[in-house]
Amino acid sequence: MKNNKKEKKMKKKPIATFCITGALEKYKRVDAIVEIHNKTNARFVSGVSSKTDYLISSRKDTRKAKRAKSFGTRVIDENEMIAFIKAGNFPVNRV
């Protein structure tokens, strides 16, 4: 008999973290967070740090976007966010 819990852990997708800054055009912020949480492997964090994988922002020249880039956080726009939601996955490059 196999250990199902162990199998499920091994099959889990890596968790990506994301933060949203500024206004979105097609989503209310809370709706975007819920949609991403329900349909992808990503979880919301309230601020950008070295552990944040994605910053969703309509502008890439803001102080927060520049700070995110300095941490190695990928800055994406709303259209890229929607593509990741449709794909069901935010790619995670870290170990």
Instruction: Tell me the per-residue pLDDT of 62-93, one tens digit each, with 9 for 90 and over.
Output: 999 999 999 999 999 999 999 999 999 999 87
Q: In whole angstroms, how far apart are CA 49 and each of 4, 16, 74, 88, 89?
A: 35, 13, 12, 24, 21
SS3 of residue 17 by DSSP: strand
Superfamily of domain 14-87: BRCT domain (3.40.50.10190)
Instruction: Tell me the per-residue pLDDT of 6-32, one tens digit each, with 9 for 90 and over.
Output: 545 545 668 999 999 999 999 999 999
pTM: 0.83
Asked if residue 5 has pLDDT above 90, the reply is no
Instruction: Tell me the per-residue pLDDT of 48-62, one tens digit each, with 9 for 90 and over.
Output: 999 999 999 999 999
Among 62, 94, 92, 51, smallest CA distance to 19 is for 51
Asked if residue 95 has pLDDT above 50, the reply is no
Residue type, 1: M
Give the domain ranges of the chain: 14-87
The chain-wide mean pLDDT, for the chain, equals: 89
